[in-house]
Amino acid sequence: MKAEELRQATTPAEESARNADGAAVGAEADVTTRLRTKAEWEQESGLMDVVCERGNLWLAYERVVRNKGAAGVDGIGVAEFKDHLKQHWPAIKARLLEGEYMPQPVRRVDIPKPLGGTRTLGIPTLTDRLIQQALHQVLSPIFEGDFSESSYGFRPGRNAHQAVKAAKQYVAEGRRVVVDMDLEKFFDRVNHDLLMEKLSKKIDDGRVLRLIRRYLEAGMMAEGIVSPRTEGTPQGGPLSPLLSNILLTDLDWELERRGHAFCRYADDCNIYVKSQAAGERVMASITRFLGDTLKLTVNAAKSTVAFPWERKFLGFSLTWHKAPRLRIARASLKRLEGKVREVLQGARGRSLTHTIEELNPVLRGWAAYFKLTETKRALEELDGWIRRKLRCILWRQWKRPHTRAKNLMKAGLTEERAWRSACNQRGPWWNSGASHMNQAFPKSFFGCRDGSFQGTRVVRTENCVLCTERTHNAMIYARVTGHDQLHARPHSQRNRQGG
């Protein structure tokens, strides 16, 4: 009714003046006062053309191939991907530029969580991973300027180590209570409409928006059956981390507006306050904000207000001291022990050298991540436990008392002690920690310590009972110093101390 009254109130002079210079002026004025159509978006914005630019696609292809990963529902792996693109890419690119490309369903994979339960991953095809990576490379700079300085997950130039250091600094400043918030099934409950609204504020190309919407709604295939999706952005594709950061930026802004000290890594958010009462208030208010504004639910069973040294953040915890120190969370140590056991399960039929070669990648990756730890007790205990496991493998491989006595004598034990130890009728684990095995295979057999490398261990088999005329070096773990190579000492110079 108001629009009709305004139209009637317009004088003929005003009407003729508005149209005196022709339709072009009226069109320009009209565009500035109304929303653009999808067709106009596509004409005015060429974001999809940037995504499909050759250099951007080549960089995306290199990253997808370098990351390897499993095949999607089409069964095409990295080895066949190049030939597949040669044949099909021109048609795929044409559909992308026309805004008609339809992603394939993702393949459902359930993996166990460290603390029980399963995490559902959606594995896209390699073609869709290529397109998502190309989108990510173009969209990331557009949204990066809006992200908070306290957001560390899946961003260029930021990592988990920076988040852990920031958390330590907050506690050192006197914020000795943490609000540890866990979002319940975050990646499965992202609201599509809310996310698309946020994307449309920065993206003008309708083809890009439609493509992202189709990726969000792509079905999930399990056992040959495709299930539709109306919410969530499954983990497994290159685009999911960026979309999660875009959605949770509102949470960051709200925390900054309130003046809170916090660290967020993807959906893992810790807020640091000075008292238990303040922590309880923040937990309640932020829970309401997440539910009302972002349609997300806080997992009450996993979220709590506690002291930082009672919780873990990105695998680390803190000591209770006034000047806190970083330490490895107990759960992280247990997880590594489980991985080591998996590697060593079949070690009885393999040489110790081969076992160590399989163990090294696990230990190197773990050590590289936890190099920030400032307490060494857990590392020393882990070091001793791994040495004992390796001694246990040797004892099992020898099997018979005669073989055990012979190898113990080769390692330097007297004949009388070697035979007494070989015939003690104790189990392998007991013998692996006994004095005769510690004397025969001391710390120096499995590693040497340089005065400048505290906490460093290197497994070595040097012209001894395990190999002849050869030297094999293999790292158990290299901690805090950044040095991962030490020089072997002659077999005759090994320290006979136990451990």
The conformation of residue 294, written as its DSSP 8-state character, comes to S
* Largest CA-CA distance found in the chain, in angstroms, rounded: 120
Contact 154, 242 (CB under 8 A): yes
Amino acid code (one letter) for 87: Q
* Closest to 132 measured CA to CA, from 168, 163, 164, 101: 101
Rounded Cα–Cα distance for residues 368 and 160 (Å): 12
Rounded Cα–Cα distance for residues 286 and 268 (Å): 14
Q: Is the pLDDT of residue 12 over 70?
A: no
What is the helix (H) or strand (E) element at residue 227, kind and residue range?
strand 225-227
pLDDT digits (tens, 9 = 90+) for 345-361: 877 778 888 888 888 89
Instruction: State both tokens at 273.
Output: 């306050």
Cα–Cα distance list, 193 to 146, 198, 247, 257, 295 (Å): 20, 9, 11, 25, 11
Amino acid code (one letter) for 113: K
Contact 457, 477 (CB under 8 A): yes
In this prediction, residue 68 carries a pLDDT of 86
Contact 138, 60 (CB under 8 A): no
What is the helix (H) or strand (E) element at residue 320, kind and residue range?
none
Contact 105, 226 (CB under 8 A): yes
pLDDT digits (tens, 9 = 90+) for 280-310: 999 999 999 999 999 999 988 889 999 999 9
pLDDT digits (tens, 9 = 90+) for 37-52: 544 444 445 899 999 9
Instruction: State both tokens at 108.
Output: 């459902």
Q: What is the mean pLDDT of residues 198-223?
A: 90
Instruction: State both tokens at 335.
Output: 């997880």
* pTM score: 0.75
Lateral strand order in the sheet of 268-273: 261-265, 268-273, 177-182, 304-306
Rounded Cα–Cα distance for residues 211 and 452 (Å): 55
> Each residue of 355-390: b (16+ CB within 10 Å) or e?
bbeebbeebbebbebbebbeeeebbeebbeebbbbb
How many CB atoms are located within 10 Å of the residue 350 CB?
A: 15
User: Which residue in the block uniquely carries the two structure tokens 């012209």?
Assistant: 463
pLDDT digits (tens, 9 = 90+) for 248-282: 999 999 999 999 999 999 889 999 999 999 999 99
Strand 220-222 with 225-227, pairing: antiparallel
Q: Which pairs from 127-130 meet CB under 8 Å and 24+ separation? A: 127/74, 127/76, 127/84, 127/85, 127/88, 127/92, 128/72, 128/103, 128/104, 128/215, 128/218, 128/237, 129/64, 129/69, 129/72, 129/237, 129/238, 130/57, 130/60, 130/61, 130/64, 130/85
Cα–Cα distance list, 241 to 248, 267, 339, 479 (Å): 11, 10, 26, 30
Q: Which pairs from 37-42 meet CB under 8 Å and 24+ separation? A: 38/206, 39/206, 41/204, 41/205, 41/206, 42/99, 42/205, 42/206, 42/207
Rounded Cα–Cα distance for residues 459 and 488 (Å): 10
How many CB atoms are located within 10 Å of the residue 250 CB?
A: 15
Q: What is the mean pLDDT of residues 408-418?
A: 94
pLDDT digits (tens, 9 = 90+) for 74-131: 999 999 999 999 999 999 999 999 999 999 999 988 887 766 677 788 899 999 999 9
Q: Is the pLDDT of residue 9 over 80?
A: no
Instruction: State both tokens at 232.
Output: 């969530």
